[in-house]
Structure 1
């Protein structure tokens, strides 16, 4: 069988996109999905995303990590899926869609800048060493002085597989403050099991963590990730964060077909 696919990237976080509105894709084939995400033997991507029909919204997002397993919410993937839906003429400049963590709203500009509403964050765990919160996916956030030379893969894996988060593990974010409302961020992603150039739920988590711990009073925060720049905005009441938006570019890379 031949599959048409599209490749998208958002600040270097890249995804294989498939239009599955006809429900043809073998969704339970973990090995196939991992093969399609393989950078040497397949198409290559940090994940694979299916765009599917939904009776209540414009479409449904089904996200798989590059290991082939269905996973929790991916912020950059969601932004890229909005751009994909626009390319397919499924939407115009705004939409709603369902993902594994619930309902999302999004808008897209003519130059491909996508503003994606993330879930509310009612609970932020703050310790002297780290912050933990769920922004659609679980995220560990900690400050690092020498971020440029820090071994993200080794230290991220140690936390991800350590006793702190048990069998499920967590994504791990390392952050350095640049100015009052700008932070640099590097992320180790579970499922990819390596550093990625960008992580949308990680950027969201880092921004909220920096506000929650008093590193910034701003509710509009800029994140320098390895693959570009993202912005996160939110409203804060007590220690609850609502109207959370992840904002950044989502770009079409190429279209192709592959035989499976």
Structure 2
């Protein structure tokens, strides 16, 4: 069976997009997703997203990491909004469902502003923190980021079973000035450094804001620039969290799912 796919990227975080109203990946989509996301044997992507109809919402986003696992993905959600507009499912505003619950978003040109879920607490002190922004994130402050061993250190923290039995994403953050930070991410499910991570930069912005004070933080990633704004309540929770940045369609094509399912590819 051939399916039509679209490739989107949001600050270098890239995704295979499929119209789930028209196509299905089968009862067990994980092997196919692994093969489609493989950068040598498939299309290549950090994850795959299906858009489906959902009563009470403009659409439902079904997100899979490159290894087939599911989680919330901020940049993926922003790309999903852009894809939904391309498909004619929305115009300038979206109300959609993701694995972590409902979300609102606005799109203008290639700029997508996504409302993230409320964050109740930030754990940690010193240079290491933990925050769940729809996906779990360990955040570490570092003084030098350009030559930092993101993959080696990130993999070690990600697989620390004592601290994170289910694993975690790992973000390394460097302050550039009062309202500007730089972030690099080792992403669970991709098992490598990615050029950007939406839930990750959101986690870093909240940690940085809680320590330094700004409620609007600009973030530089390897793949481009993002912005996060939020409101910190008197109880210490974070609300009205908005992740904003570009989301672009890169190309489209068709691929045979039957042929992909016959190949056994292991994600490194």
Residue in structure 2 matched with residue 68 of structure 1 by the alignment: 68
Instruction: Please list every run of 5 or more consecutive structure 2 residues that lacks an aligned counterpart in the other structure.
Output: 258-268
Report how many aligned residue pairs link the two structures.
256
For residue 120 of structure 1, the aligned residue among 113, 118, 121 is 118
Q: CA RMSD of the aligned region, Å?
A: 1.0
Please, what TM-score do these two structures have when normalized by structure 1?
Answer: 0.96
Residue in structure 2 matched with residue 134 of structure 1 by the alignment: 132
Q: Deviations over 1:28-69 (max 9, x none)?
A: 221111000011110000000000110010000000010122
Distance 2:165 2:83 in 1: 34
Distance 1:257 1:118 in 2: 32
Distance 2:208 2:164 in 1: 25
Equivalent residue runs for 1:40-55 within 5 Å = 40-55=40-55
For residue 246 of structure 1, the aligned residue among 226, 243, 246 is 243
For residue 222 of structure 1, the aligned residue among 205, 212, 218 is 218
Distance 1:194 1:158 in 2: 12
SS in 2 for 1:96: strand
Please, what TM-score do these two structures have when normalized by structure 2?
Answer: 0.93
How far residue 21 of structure 1 moved from its aligned partner, in angstroms, is 1.4
SS in 2 for 1:14: strand
- Measured at CA, do residues 20 and 88 of structure 1 come closer, stay the same or move farther in structure 2, by a change above 3 Å? same
Residue in structure 2 matched with residue 177 of structure 1 by the alignment: 175
Q: Deviations over 1:58-92 (max 9, x none)?
A: 000000010122x1100000000000000001100
1:102 aligns with 2:137: no
- Contact 1:23–1:52, Cα closer than 8 Å, also in 2: no
Instruction: Please list every run of 5 or more consecutive structure 1 residues that lacks an aligned counterpart in the other structure.
Output: none
How far residue 217 of structure 1 moved from its aligned partner, in angstroms, is 1.4
